[in-house]
């Protein structure tokens, strides 16, 4: 997740966000460099080796 190896119990992207305490945080997600809409996170299954990106609003130029 976000470039670091992580062992998790979650089997879906939505469950992963819960497990990592992002439940109430505004985030955007991508799986293996492909955007995953918020509404699709519940059906997005995770497999070993998947690369998940969780991004939040930040300052930008």
Residues lying near another protein in the complex (CB under 8 A) are found at 2-3, 20-22, 25-30, 33-35, 37-38, 53-61
Nearer to another protein, 11 or 34 (CB): 34
Going from the C-alpha of 49 to that of each of 23, 44, 57, the distances in angstroms are 23, 14, 26
Nearer to another protein, 28 or 45 (CB): 28
Nearer to another protein, 18 or 45 (CB): 18
**Nearest distance from residue 12's CB to another protein, in Å?**
17
Q: Give every CB contact of residue 52 below 8 A, 6+ residues apart in sequence.
A: 1, 2, 13, 16, 29, 30, 31, 46
């Amino acid at each position: 997740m976000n470039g670091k190896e992580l062992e998790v119990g979650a089997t879906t992207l939505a469950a992963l966000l819960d497990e990592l305490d992002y439940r109430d945080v505004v985030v955007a997600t991508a799986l293996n460099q492909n955007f995953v809409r918020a509404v699709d996170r519940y059906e997005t299954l995770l497999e070993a080796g998947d690369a998940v990106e969780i991004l939040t609003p930040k300052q930008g130029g």
